[in-house]
């Protein structure tokens, strides 16, 4: 694209669960980086021309047969290298040192004592012990020649090592995780100091470069964009609008299972404020008719997915000869499809517009392919997207349909919408909406007995699902204050007709999922 990619760091993945965090920390230091499998051929690595290489951790033991490795040629490239945990062990193993199983596993917090303020530790005072996070069974018994110990912990005589001449470093701990509070500074020192990168990867620069690139690349081409009102598709639509506004048509399909007020908010922001060429399709009847009598979650998803494609396609046909479909694919989805086998190579992704490009023979334009979610939000802010959209919680494509257990009917949708609006309002009021990952109401297909005034009632149950997560792959229920729960509960029971009981979901993922269906 442009020179925001001129200086890049290569992160080679050995299957660690925290590889993406390494990349995020490097990006936070305003340096572009990509994750590739550790099996990347040397010729490709050379062609990629990284200013530095980071080797991730991984679950294997490097002395076992079949353990993942990396082409030794990287050590002759003359670029700085940092190995983290397994990455450090593989450097040791390949360069002639000795790695062996430690007497005991070291897992959790540890105190690191530095011996020299060099390399990733250049900004640190060696006298101050540093808190670091360890997670390893193997350890360095003998460093390769040319290496010196840079730090120790109680359990690791070589907790960090370096060949200062060649600028090859290894750390036994994980600088990328939040439990190593100053780890981000160490990674920044490596990429800015040792690798000599300039901090030019800013979302301001990204937006400018992307818009300039699209102006050139998409000139005269018709592009359509499926706008969902979520942050990803909103940022995609705005980036394209700034680049090729007259050739962009955005389509927002009201599938009848959206949250309260969503249609008017999206139309208001994109059409009225930003002046997008936006088609709002009211297709609620089509969706709800087809959902009639359907209780199976996967069947609901299938019906909603297919109906969406059908309606979107019909709208697109009216526009005429469209060349491109814009999609909000993010970097984690890209990594998933190329990742090295191991826990980081993983679990599932949901594609709201899956199947469309093939069916309609459209080329894809995916301006967010290189971005993490936080970066996407930052671009949104750069482009002036209102905070209410930028900081939106994720919302599933099948919408409220998979939060109404059992059949989706109009009256049940009304009940859930009202309950959900109260949850959103109270979470925002308590300043917790953006602090949790998701907070929503679920309509349970059970009636229970209650009493209101002198009357016995027999009405619906609403469950509250409020979770903390970093990437939706794992999650835990949020410990929100009792007072807030009490307020949400009493408001729902008092204000939403037909609900006489509110319960709290206190399950983690796994083994539960975030959504109930
Ligand atoms: P689960 O329920 O699997 O959800 O723990 C993980 C994340 O994905 C969202 N989700 C979906 N998103 N289509 C989507 O676009 C779907 O069918 C779907 N199902 C779950 C969910 O809201 C959570 O953020």
pLDDT digits (tens, 9 = 90+) for 66-90: 999 999 999 999 999 999 999 999 9
Same domain for 180 and 225, yes or no, is: no
For residue 396, how far is its CA from the centre of ligand 1 (angstroms)? 5
Domain assignment present for residue 160? The answer is: yes
Q: Are residues 371 and 483 in the same domain?
A: no
302 and 173 inside one domain: no
Choosing from 34, 62, 136, 176, the catalytic residue is: 176
R_g of the chain computed on alpha carbons? 26
Within this chain, do residues 45 and 173 fall inside the same structural domain, yes or no?
yes
Model confidence at 349: pLDDT above 80: no
Span 101-130, average pLDDT: 91
* 1 has pLDDT over 60: no
What is the 515 CA–ligand 1 centroid distance (Å)? Answer: 6
**Does 455 fall in a domain?**
yes
Read off the pLDDT of each residue in 349-370 and give the average, rounded to a whole number: 74
For ligand 1, atom 6, name the residue with the nearest CA. Answer: 472
Residue in the structure block whose two tokens are 């802010």: 381
User: Would residue 399 count as lying in a domain?
Assistant: no
Q: Is residue 359 part of a domain?
A: yes
Whether residues 63 and 130 fall in one domain: yes
Q: Is residue 510 part of a domain?
A: no
Q: 417 lies in a domain?
A: yes
> Of 128, 159, 194, at which residue does a domain stop?
194
pLDDT at 107: 87
Mean pLDDT across 162-170: 98
Distance 19 CA to ligand 1 centre (A): 22
Are residues 343 and 211 part of one domain? yes
* pLDDT exceeds 60 at position 352: no
Residues 80 and 190 in one domain: yes
CATH number of the domain enclosing 32: 3.40.50.880
Q: Could you tell me the CATH number of the domain that includes residue 310?
A: 3.40.50.620
Tell me, what CATH number does 482's domain have? 3.30.300.10
Identify the residues whose C-beta falls under 6 Å from ligand 1: 301, 350, 352, 394, 396-398, 438, 472, 509, 513-515
Domain range enclosing 377: 203-390
Q: Among 303, 336, 396, which is best to mutate for testing ligand 1, by the most ligand atoms less than 8 A from CB?
A: 396
Do residues 348 and 246 share a domain? yes
Does 268 lie in the same domain as 186? no
Task: Determine which of 189-203, 430-444, 467-481 has the lowest per-residue pLDDT on average.
Answer: 467-481
Pairing of strands 455-468, 438-452: antiparallel
- Say yes or no to pLDDT of 202 above 50: yes
The pLDDT assigned to 340 comes to 66
pTM of the model: 0.90
Instruction: Tell me, yes or no, whether 402 lies in a domain.
Output: no
Long-range contacts of the stretch 188-191 (C-beta < 8 A, 24+): 188/25, 188/28, 188/29, 189/119, 189/120, 189/121, 189/122, 189/123, 190/52, 190/54, 190/80, 190/82, 190/119, 190/120, 191/9, 191/26, 191/29, 191/31, 191/33, 191/51, 191/52
- Residue located nearest, by CA, to atom 18 of ligand 1: 396
Q: Which atom of ligand 1 is the closest one to the Cα of 351?
A: 15
What is the per-residue pLDDT for 354? 57
Residue 145's pLDDT band, with cuts at 50, 70 and 90, is very high
The answer on 350 and 215 residing in a single domain is yes
Strands 248-254, 278-282: pairing kind: parallel
Residue nearest to atom 19 of ligand 1 (CA): 396
Catalytic residue among 85, 195, 197, 225: 85
| 394: nearest Cα among 328, 438, 334 | 438
**Percent of the chain clearing pLDDT 90 (strictly above):** 87
Segment holding 206, helix H or strand E: helix 203-217
Overall size of the chain counted in residues: 517
Residue that finishes a domain, picked among 194, 214, 248: 194
Determine whether 306 is an active site residue: no
Catalytic one of 136, 174, 315, 370: 174
360-396, pLDDT tens digit by residue?
788 999 999 999 999 999 999 999 999 999 999 999 9
Strands (E) across 5-147 are located at 8-13, 32-37, 52-55, 81-84, 98-114, 130-142
Please say whether the beta carbons of 82 and 54 come within 8 A: yes
Task: Tell me the mean pLDDT in the region 433-461.
Answer: 96
Looking at the structure of the chain, the number of domains it has is 3
Q: What is the DSSP string of 464-479?
A: EEEEE-SSSSSBEE--
| pLDDT-based confidence at residue 471 (cuts at 50, 70, 90) | confident
- Last residue of some domain: 141, 167, 194? 194
Has residue 346 got a pLDDT over 60? no
Catalytic residue status for 176: yes
Beta carbons within 10 angstroms of residue 510's beta carbon: 10
Do 416 and 385 sit in the same domain of this protein?
Answer: no
242/134 same-domain check: no
395 inside domain? no
């Amino acid at each position: 694209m442009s020179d925001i990619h001129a200086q890049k760091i290569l992160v080679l993945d050995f299957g660690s669960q925290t590889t993406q965090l390494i990349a995020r920390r490097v990006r936070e230091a305003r340096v572009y980086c990509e994750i590739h499998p550790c099996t990347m051929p040397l010729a490709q690595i050379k062609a990629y021309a990284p200013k530095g290489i980071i080797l991730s951790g991984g679950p294997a033991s490097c002395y076992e047969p079949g353990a993942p490795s990396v082409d030794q040629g990287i050590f002759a490239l003359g670029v700085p290298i940092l190995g983290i945990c397994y990455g450090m062990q593989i450097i040791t193993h390949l360069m002639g040192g000795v790695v062996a199983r430690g007497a005991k596993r070291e897992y959790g917090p540890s105190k690191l004592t530095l011996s020299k303020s060099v390399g990733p530790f250049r900004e640190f005072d060696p006298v101050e012990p540093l808190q670091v996070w360890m997670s390893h069974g193997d350890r360095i018994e003998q460093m390769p020649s040319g290496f010196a110990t840079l730090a120790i912990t109680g359990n690791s005589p070589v907790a960090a090592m370096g060949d200062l001449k060649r600028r090859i470093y290894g750390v036994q701990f994980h600088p990328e995780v939040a439990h190593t509070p100053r780890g981000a500074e160490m990674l920044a020192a490596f990429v800015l100091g040792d690798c000599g990168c300039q901090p030019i990867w800013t979302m301001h620069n990204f937006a400018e470069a992307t818009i300039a690139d699209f102006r050139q690349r998409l000139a005269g081409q018709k592009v359509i964009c499926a706008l969902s009102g979520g942050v990803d598709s909103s940022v995609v639509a705005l980036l394209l609008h700034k680049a090729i506004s007259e050739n962009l048509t955005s389509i927002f399909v009201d599938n009848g299972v959206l949250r309260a007020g969503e249609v008017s908010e999206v139309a208001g922001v994109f059409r009225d404020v930003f002046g997008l060429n936006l088609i709002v399709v009211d297709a609620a009847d089509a969706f709800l008719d087809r959902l009639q009598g359907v209780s199976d979650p996967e069947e609901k998803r299938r019906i909603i997915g297919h109906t969406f494609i059908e309606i979107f396609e019909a709208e697109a046909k009216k526009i005429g000869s469209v060349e491109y479909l814009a999609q909000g694919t993010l970097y984690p989805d890209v990594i998933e499809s190329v990742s090295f086998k191991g826990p980081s190579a993983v679990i599932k992704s949901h594609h709201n517009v899956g199947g469309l490009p093939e069916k309609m023979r459209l080329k894809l334009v995916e301006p967010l392919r290189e971005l993490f979610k936080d970066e996407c939000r930052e671009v949104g802010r750069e482009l002036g997207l209102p905070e209410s959209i930028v900081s939106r919680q994720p919302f599933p494509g099948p919408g409220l349909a998979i939060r109404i257990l059992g059949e989706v009917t109009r009256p049940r949708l009304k009940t859930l919408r009202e309950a959900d609006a109260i949850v959103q309002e109270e979470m925002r009021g308590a300043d917790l909406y953006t602090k949790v990952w998701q907070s929503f109401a679920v309509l349970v297909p059970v009636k229970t007995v209650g009493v209101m005034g002198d009357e016995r009632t027999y009405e619906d149950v609403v469950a509250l699902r409020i979770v903390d997560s970093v990437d939706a792959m794992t999650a835990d229920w949020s410990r929100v204050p009792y007072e807030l729960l009490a307020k949400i509960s009493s408001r729902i029971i008092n204000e939403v007709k037909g609900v006489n009981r509110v319960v709290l979901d206190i399950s983690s993922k796994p083994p539960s999922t975030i959504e109930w269906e």
